[in-house]
Structure 1
Amino acid sequence: MKKPHYLLAAVLLTAAVLAGSVAGCAPGGGDASNETITFTDPGWDTATFMAYFEAFIIEHGYGYNVEIESTTNVVGLKCIELGEIDVHPEVAPMSLQEPLDALVETGRGVVIGPCYGPQVQGWYVPTFMIEGDASRGIEPMTPDLESVFDMPEYWQLFRDPADPEKGVFYSCIPGWQCQETNAHKMIAYGLDEYYNIVTPGSDIALATSMIAAIEKGEPWFGYYWEPTWVLAQVDVTRLEEPPYDEDLWNPENHYACAYPDEYPVIVGAASLQERAPDVWEFLERVDVPVEVLNTMLLYLQESGNQSSEITDWFLTRYEDVWTEWVSDEVADNVRAAM
């Protein structure tokens, strides 16, 4: 992999500087007023959200100076290697395994720990199909449905208007790896004989197909993932599949098992552990429930706010979550700044 060091200054853009020095020492750490901790914001909603709330807690709870720099995902890791960034708030190891391994091998970067998880992908149906919904007068349609292997029995409920001899399965959008994976899975589970694959043109089109069906009380069968705002808005059930098996996870075996769960991680500069051990300990404890992220993403969708603007919303609504990661003293400092 090329290492274009000379490009870093042009790529890095300062996104925010979170208030200046705070006199005194960080609780349990060194002289916080002389230490600046720099985050990367790689730009997608969950990562931006995490960078900003973690930075707020570190600044106001522990007394450190904090900066947030906008970078691309890979450049953020490169900047940790070069000593220009201290924390990347969300790295998906399966997507960035090569650059992450390269960073760790230099000894300048460390995987601090998971920041949330698991990220889940799977095949879903509306929960009312299995359990019914008395409030809407909906009786269970598939009360015995548990597994993908049950789906041949129910294809008529998902009938394709363009091909009435088959049902419809909504896959992911063109260009995503899951499009190919889902096509293989249909073969592996014997569902290609019963269902046609519909490929929506965008993630919004996929979400709309699900939401519209559920609002009408109609069947829907398709692929989705978490965290996402959509699954905070609707009630769906993920169908059982054979457990993930690395030996089956290939085209030759048609990916004949569940998607692997993935745990995004916080990556930090190795030097941070010595410079700010209290911050390091805090970051080790961060673990945001996926359900909270779903709700956060729905709040963004409905409120029109940016993910960099909802730290107060999170700290207020989910005090029972973040206070588990910090001391009472730090929590009091954070509350005072909210």
Structure 2
Amino acid sequence: MRKSKRQLIAWIGFLILVLAVGLVGCGATTTETTKEEKPTLVLADPGWDSVQFNNSVVQFIAEKGYGYKTEVISGSTPITFAAFIKGDIDIYSEIWTDNIKEKYDKAIKDGAIKAISVNFDDNAQGLYVPTYLIKGNPAKGIKPLAPDLKSIKDLPKYWELFKDQEVPTKGRIYGAPPGWEVDKILQTKIKNYGLDTTYNYFSPGSDAALSTSLAKAYEEGKPWLGYYWEPTWIMGKYDMTLLTDVPFDEALWNDGYKCEFAPSIVTVGVSKGMETKAPDVVEFLSHYKTSNTLLNEALAYMQDNKADVDQTAIWFLKNHTDLWTPWVPSEVADKVKAALK
């Protein structure tokens, strides 16, 4: 009987030990699971196709390679950049620094954001016309209607070529969509150049409306004059000529934008909390770099194949492994490649 009691006590002790170990194990698992949970990374979408494409590339690598969740906040440049400064947005994959120079420089100086790489710096922006207006296109039976049109200063004598159908006493210049910082720049610039006496400035409602107006005119071989920029699918698909302007001079630019746009350094930026929130993604983004040619190619693919930005990002990552694999550690690259299959 005494032996049985000892055995019973021993069994009870053993069960308590097993339960204790089990509870400790459960606690460790819970702690480990919590530890593995990663924050959601928020990216800015100020509204144009190249930034949306860059976002999708960043998102695919961050999600598939590093295990983060991502989301996007859309809005105009002023709205998204203000949210970026506040820390509500973590990543801005395409900051056109010269378009928001004062706000950008202040945010950098204040430490609210950090520029960690140059995405591309071989871009251009300004007033464009289809090249066939200057050189003609014999294959399409188009004669050169403005053979001497080279500069913005030549525009007053060609206003009838670009006649505004709604106000036929003036020509029409297609500007940037409302809410874009460059819209304000263009309106001031055109007024200071005196072009408002012969042209109406027309602000399309969106990036899509602007590109549609250009594409429609081009496909029909008609005149078109307006603001555009590179990289874009338009420039990847159509032969357009950027009208020359007064060479860039900082004093002239600060005095009402009376010169050409300087090639903008387009940076990748992160909020001040990102280096703590996702240091591995910050390291990846510090190597992120594309180019005008690469982006024109990707955006033209998107347009020609009626693909969305996510599909285009996958196509791009599959076809440019030599470009992006050096951005990340080999084990991350392997995960991304596996997700692409």
Q: CA deviation at 1:199?
A: 1.4
- Does residue 207 of the first structure (1) align with residue 211 of the second (2)? yes
**Cα RMSD (Å):** 4.0
Query: Which of 132, 143, 154 is 1:128 aligned to?
Result: 132
Q: Tell me the equivalent position of 1:288.
A: 290
Amino acid at match of 2:146: T
Specify whether residues 139 and 336 from structure 1 end up closer, same or farther in structure 2 by C-alpha distance, changes over 3 A only: same
For residues 326 and 296 of structure 2, what CA distance do their matches in structure 1 show? 20
In the TM superposition, 1:246-285 aligns within 5 A as: 246-250=250-254, 253-268=255-270, 280-285=282-287
- Whether the aligned pair in 1 keeps the contact of 2:246 and 2:260 (CA below 8 Å) is yes
In the alignment, the residues of structure 1 paired with residue 181 and residue 277 of structure 2 have an alpha-carbon distance, to the nearest angstrom, of 40
Deviation, 1:312, is: 1.5
Higher helix proportion, which one? 2
1:69-108 correspondence to structure 2 within 5 Å: 69-71=71-73, 73=80, 74-79=82-87, 87-93=91-97, 94-95=99-100, 98=103, 101-102=106-107, 105-106=110-111
TM-score in terms of structure 2 length: 0.67
CA distances 1:65-85 after superposition (whole Å, capped 9, x unpaired) = 3221444634444338xxxx7
Question: Structure 1 100/246 Cα, relative in aligned 2: closer, same or farther at 3 Å?
Answer: closer
Q: For this pair of structures, how many residues does the alignment match? A: 296
Shift of 1:287: 1.6
Unaligned runs of 5+ in 2: 1-34, 75-79
1:146 aligns with 2:150: yes
TM-score, normalised relative to structure 1? 0.67
2:200 to 197, 200, 216: 197
Deviation, structure 1 residue 183? 4.2
Q: 1:206 to 1:322 in 2, by over 3 A?
A: same
| Partners of 1:229 and 1:127 in 2: CA distance | 16
Q: Distance in 2 between matches of 1:227 and 1:221?
A: 18
Q: Does 1:318 align with 2:320?
A: yes
Partner letter of residue 196 of structure 1?
Y
Deviation readout 1:149-186 (Å, 9 max, x if unpaired): 23344444334556766544333445655455434434
- Tell me how far 1:257 sits from its aligned partner: 0.9
1:307 aligns with 2:309: yes
SS at match of 1:285: coil
Q: Give, in whole Å, the separation in 1 of the partners of 2:243 and 2:268.
A: 30
Asked if the contact 1:88/1:266 (under 8 Å) is kept, the reply is yes
Distance 1:70 1:221 in 2: 33
Larger radius of gyration: 2
